[in-house]
Structure 1
Amino acid sequence: MTRALILGGTADASLLAAEIARAGQDAIYSYGGRTRAPADQPLPTRIGGFGGVSGLADYIRREAITHVIDATHPFAAEMSRNAVDACAETGTPLIALERAPWTRAPGDNWIEIPDVNAAVAVLPEAPAKVFLAIGRQHIAPFAAKPQHTYTLRFVDPPETPLLFSADVIVSRGPFTLDGELEMMRRRGITWIVARNSGGDGARAKIDAARMLGLPVIMISRPRRPERLRVESVAEIMQWLGHRTCLGA
């Protein structure tokens, strides 16, 4: 009997959970715990870390997991490495649901850099209005350039004071192109810092930046381990042995 573990936290993982529930598949959805009020899922849900490779391997054995699906954020490289090692240790089949990264379109003004520290270095010395679209766990290095006016957007309000002055928007995506254009114009945004997450749910800010002619400091994805990977929910369902297609 098949029992899947979804390592989730993304819009793609939620789509997968809905399709698995429709198919009557036995599965557990796991949140990493970074969001205080995660979206409800149609599957049994757990929240929090596993305790590294050994903890994940113990969980796979204890819960009789037969298949693991890594549908974590493209920047969650440590979790992906842990999944590869834990599945190797337990002999559990593993697949990744990983959306393709964004690619440049005509009119894009991207500055592609490898990490957050490089993004800080690229920002100008003269005061600018910067939209940091990178998640709260990555913003601390920007305290090195406090001359800028920062706009941040989080799913949850910050639990602790920020290290620099910033205007915080609390909102959950997906976001629309019209909404992103209005936000950037109203706040006078002149620079955007983003991670190359890919997918449609967060793309509107990139399209808005192109339309407004704004520079985007684009942080490249970290290296993730080699493993079987696909880009669609339908392919995951086929891997699990279902012929159903998304929305069927």
Structure 2
Amino acid sequence: MHVLILGGTTEARRLAELLYGTPGLELTSSLAGRVTSPRLPPGRTRVGGFGGADGLAAWLREHGVDAVVDATHPFAGTISFNAARAAAATHVPLLALRRPGWVPAEGDRWHEVGSLEEAARALPALGGRVFLTTGRMGLAAFADLERLWFLVRSVEAPEPPHPSHMEVLLDRGPFTLDGERELLLRHRIDVVVTKDSGGAATAPKLTAAREAGLPVVVVRRPPVPAGVPVVPDPGNASRWVRERLERGPLPAG
């Protein structure tokens, strides 16, 4: 049985670790290739896109894939919808592995928005020194905010277009609460922008912002494609794969 994990996340790597070495199971993890030195999971890996839904469907047929687990980042919406279309076209079972989103706690000053562009429109009324933790790919949405200063944290250096007044902090989680407290204080941050990525690795910034009384602009995550079952953690995803392994693969379409 050949399983394709659409990965690049901590959860995808953990799922590969749980499944690696299972008798009768062939495992391939696919990474988008946006990070130059990713943490590779065990087993076979491939890097790069598939060429849309049709290209992914062709890859599933060519490589005899029997099941797909979409364990991509909660905001990697394009690949998730391509996976749903490809799985439907090839009659390959598809599961979405999504870490739960964050939930506001008492004292939080969250401003939930639907996009990075909406986040940018909200910022001028909330503060002038922004801690921007949405990654390096969407900075164009904030490029016209000339009166604001940004601290941009990302794994790799961003490319233009991006805000004119910014400092880049190259770092990778998990982050500590003490570290986030010190960062907000040292850079005199008065508003935080984040995507609702969920998980514990980057959550301390929310606690630090709450303690400091800072507003947080939270970009809501896109929905999982309709009809795709969802599990919240690698353990449940591993059980889903093993149940299919015990039943035997279904013939692909």
- Provide the TM-score with structure 1 as the length reference: 0.92
2:73 alignment partner, SS class: coil
CA distance in 2, matches of 1:63, 1:190: 51
Q: Tell me the equivalent position of 1:108.
A: 108
Q: Tell me the equivalent position of 1:3.
A: 2
CA distance in 2, matches of 1:140, 1:80: 23
Q: Tell me the equivalent position of 1:63.
A: 63
Q: Tell me the equivalent position of 1:245.
A: none
Whether the 8 Å contact between 2:102 and 2:199 is mirrored in structure 1 is yes
Q: Tell me the equivalent position of 2:142.
A: 142
Matches within 5 A, 1:200-239: 200-226=200-226, 227-239=228-240
Q: Tell me the equivalent position of 1:246.
A: none
Deviation at 1:43, TM superposition (A): 1.7
Name which of structure 1's ranges 97-106 and 19-28 shifts more when overlaid on structure 2. 19-28
Deviation at 1:34, TM superposition (A): 1.5
Q: Tell me the equivalent position of 1:19.
A: 18
Whether the 8 Å contact between 2:150 and 2:163 is mirrored in structure 1 is no
1:201 alignment partner, SS class: coil
1:106 alignment partner, SS class: coil
CA distance in 1, matches of 2:110, 2:127: 20
Matches within 5 A, 1:42-121: 42-121=42-121
CA distance in 2, matches of 1:14, 1:180: 26
Deviation at 1:22, TM superposition (A): 5.1
CA distance in 2, matches of 1:126, 1:204: 21
Q: Output the amino acid matched with 1:240.
A: V
CA distance in 2, matches of 1:183, 1:45: 36
- Gapped regions of structure 1 (runs ≥ 5): 243-248
Deviation at 1:158, TM superposition (A): 2.9
Q: Output the amino acid matched with 1:15.
A: R
Deviation at 1:32, TM superposition (A): 1.1
Q: How many residues align?
A: 242
1:56 alignment partner, SS class: helix
Deviation at 1:160, TM superposition (A): 5.2
Deviation at 1:163, TM superposition (A): 4.7
1:136 alignment partner, SS class: coil
1:78 alignment partner, SS class: helix
RMSD in angstroms over aligned alpha carbons?
1.8
CA distance in 1, matches of 2:161, 2:82: 31
- Gapped regions of structure 2 (runs ≥ 5): 244-253
CA distance in 2, matches of 1:104, 1:160: 33
Name which of structure 1's ranges 161-170 and 176-185 shifts more when overlaid on structure 2. 161-170
Q: Output the amino acid matched with 1:120.
A: A
**Does residue 195 of structure 1 match 2:202?**
no
CA distance in 2, matches of 1:195, 1:15: 22
Deviation at 1:40, TM superposition (A): 2.1
Whether the 8 Å contact between 1:127 and 1:147 is mirrored in structure 2 is no
Name which of structure 1's ranges 150-159 and 65-74 shifts more when overlaid on structure 2. 150-159
Matches within 5 A, 1:167-206: 167-206=167-206
CA distance in 2, matches of 1:160, 1:11: 28
1:124 alignment partner, SS class: helix
- Provide the TM-score with structure 2 as the length reference: 0.90
